[in-house]
Every structure is written in C-alpha cells, then in structure tokens.
Chain A
C-alpha cells in the first residue's frame, strides 16, 4: 500500500460544483501539504499544515479550503470549481525538520469543464 494515498486519482466535473480531494498517510508525519501542478510551471503550494491544529495558506490559496481531520488526513476542497482550477494536484507529507524530504502521493488529475 502507498504511504501517501490520494483519492480520487481522476475527476471530471462541471463549473460551479463543490469538489473534495482527499489525502491520507501512513507515515506518521506531522506536516502535510497540498500542491497544484500546471504545465510548464513548478509545483505551487496551496495550503499546508504542521499539525492537526495548524493550517496555513500557501502561495495560491484563493478558491480553495482545507481540513486536517486527523494527523493522517488532509483534505482539499474547491467550493465552486472554475475551469482555471484544472490541474494535477499533489498531497505531500514531511517529518522532522523542514529540510527533510517530502513524500508525495500519486496525484489527482482534475478537469473542470
């Protein structure tokens, strides 16, 4: 089983719909992250959480919200999806100090029509 699991792996939906992407991890890491990836651009940080009671906005948080339900679970919501949120979304985890490697899920490919 994967250490960082994202669901769904693919999703096609329509403009205006509410969407939730889920991430769960078995690594026991405190830090969790949501990124989006667009063609030609680096991964950009949407939200991050350093523990269950800690939620922080990243570089591109507008139009997104998150919930850290438990140490192992971090979900990303698009309250009213729009076409320019079509992207590949990644969840990642990290442990210990900030200069330790992050561990990524397999990604969710989201298309908004």
Chain B
C-alpha cells in the first residue's frame, strides 16, 4: 500500500467544470505539498499546507489533518489546466517528502 494515494488516477473534464483531486495518506504529517507537472515535464509548486485552506486564483487546496486527507479544487477549469497534479507529504519527524503517483487531468475545450 502506497503511503500517499491520489484519486482519481486520470480525469477528463469539459472546460468550465469544477474539478476535485484527492490525496490521502497513512501517517501523521507536518506539511503537504501540491505540485503541477506540465505536459513538457516541468514541475512547479502550487501550495504548501499544514492546516486549513489556501486559495490562489482558481485553485483551492484544503487539508483535514484528522482524516489524513487533502483536496485540490480547480474552479472554472480551462484546457491550460491540463497537467499531472502531484501530492507530497512530509511526515512528522521526517526529512523528505513522499510523493503520490499523480493525477492526470485533461480539460477539453
């Protein structure tokens, strides 16, 4: 069983739809990182969370520490949002992030 799981594995949406990507983990963490990997391969940081909720533009990330679960929401999705979204967790007392397998999102025009 992977320490970090993401669902769905693949997601296809129509432009304008509200999208939710989920991340669940099995042990206590001190931080959770959402990243976006572009079709060309580059990886950029979206959010770092340790509690609550963060918003940047059309992206919203939430975390529930007790339930060991985080969600990434995209409002009014656009084809340029098509990418792989990766969740990574930093365990309590850990030194390095553990990465989920990613969710591949395709937004169709």
Contact = CB atoms under 8 A, between A and B. Distances in A.
Given A40-B101, A41-B101, A98-B95, A109 B90 contact: no
A44 B41 contact: no
B50 A99 contact: yes
B33 A102 contact: yes
Interface string A73-113: 00000000000000010101000001111111011010000
B61 interface: no
The majority secondary structure among interface residues of chain B is strand
Contacts, number: 55
Contact of A90 (B30, B43, B88): B43
Interface in B21-47: 30-31, 33, 35, 40-45
Q: Which bucket holds chain A's interface residue count? A: 20 to 34
Contacts of A99: 30-31, 48, 50, 90
A101 B50 CA distance: 12
Q: Which bucket holds chain B's interface residue count? A: 20 to 34
Given A104-B42, A107-B41, 8 more contacts: A42-B2, A43-B99, A45-B96, A48-B96, A90-B43, A101-B33, A102-B97, A106-B42
15 contacts: A40-B101, A42-B4, A42-B88, A42-B101, A43-B88, A43-B99, A45-B96, A56-B95, A98-B31, A99-B48, A100-B48, A101-B45, A101-B48, A102-B33, A104-B35
